[in-house]
A and B are shown apart, each in its own frame.
Chain A
C-alpha cells in the first residue's frame, strides 16, 4: 500500500461545476497535511494547509478525517485556470519529511 494514495484522474469537469478530491494516508502519526498544485511543466506550489477543523480559502475547502485517515479538497465554481494536478502531501510523522501523493489531474472544460 502506498503511503499517500490519490485517484490519478484525470477528472474532466465543466466550468462552474464542483469537484472533490480525496486522498488517503497510511501513517497514523502524521501531523501535517497539505494540498499543492502543480501546473504542467511547473514546480509544485502550496495551495493550502489542511487543519483538523477544516479550512476554507475562497472557492477551496479542505477537510481532514483523522479516524479514517483521509483528506479531501473541494473546489466550487471551478474555473478554467483550476486545471492542474493537485498533490496531496502528508508529513511522515517526523520533522521535515514529507510524503507526496502521485497527484490528481484536473481538467476544466469550457
Chain B
C-alpha cells in the first residue's frame, strides 16, 4: 500500500490566521482526498484533488476557505484560511492506492486547534 507523510501532526493557531497542511505520497496516485474529522464524529470529505486541475469541493466547502494545491502526482496541500474555533478538527489526506476504489490509505492526520 502507499505510505503518506502528513505534516504538521498538530498545531494551535490564532483565529484569523491560515494553516497549510502537506501530504507527500511515496508513489504516484491520480486522486488525493482531503477529509475533516470533528471530535467524536466520522470523516467528512472536503474535496478531491486531481493533478493538473482544480479540486472538486463537496457541499459546504469552498475554495476560498480551503484552497488546495496538487502540483504533481505525489504531493498535495490543503490550506485552512481565516481560521475560527469552528475549524478545530482533525484533517486527513487519503489516497486510493489500488486505483480501483478498494484500498484507501490515510496520512496520520493534522490535529488543529484554533484559539
Name which residue of chain B comes closest to A49, CB basis. Answer: B102
Q: Which one of B11-19, B42-50, B62-70, B74-82 is at the interface?
A: B42-50
* Chain B interface main SS type: strand
A61 at the interface (CB under 8 A from B): no
B57 at the interface (CB under 8 A from A): no
What separation, in Å, do the CA atoms of A61 and B66 have in the docked complex?
A: 39
If A43-B92, A43-B106 touch, whether A100 touches B101 (CB-CB below 8 Å) is: no
Q: How does the 8 Å CB contact mask read for B99-115 relative to A, with 1 for contact and 0 for none?
A: 00111111111010000
B96 A43 Cβ-Cβ under 8 A = no
With both chains docked as a complex, state the minimum distance between the C-beta of B7 and any C-beta of chain A, in angstroms.
Answer: 14
What separation, in Å, do the CA atoms of A97 and B33 have in the docked complex?
A: 10
Residue among A43, A87, A102 with the most chain B CB within 10 A? A43
If A43-B92, A44-B43, A101-B42 touch, whether A96 touches B101 (CB-CB below 8 Å) is: yes
Give A residues with C-beta under 8 Å from B: 32, 41-46, 49, 87, 91, 95-98, 100-103
Give B residues with C-beta under 8 Å from A: 31, 33, 41-45, 48, 92, 96, 101-109, 111
Would you list 29 pairs from A and B whose C-beta atoms are within 8 A, ordered by A residue?
A: A32-B101, A32-B102, A41-B111, A42-B108, A42-B109, A43-B107, A43-B109, A44-B104, A45-B106, A46-B103, A46-B104, A46-B105, A49-B102, A87-B42, A87-B43, A91-B101, A96-B31, A96-B33, A96-B48, A96-B96, A96-B101, A98-B45, A98-B104, A100-B42, A100-B43, A101-B42, A102-B41, A102-B42, A103-B42
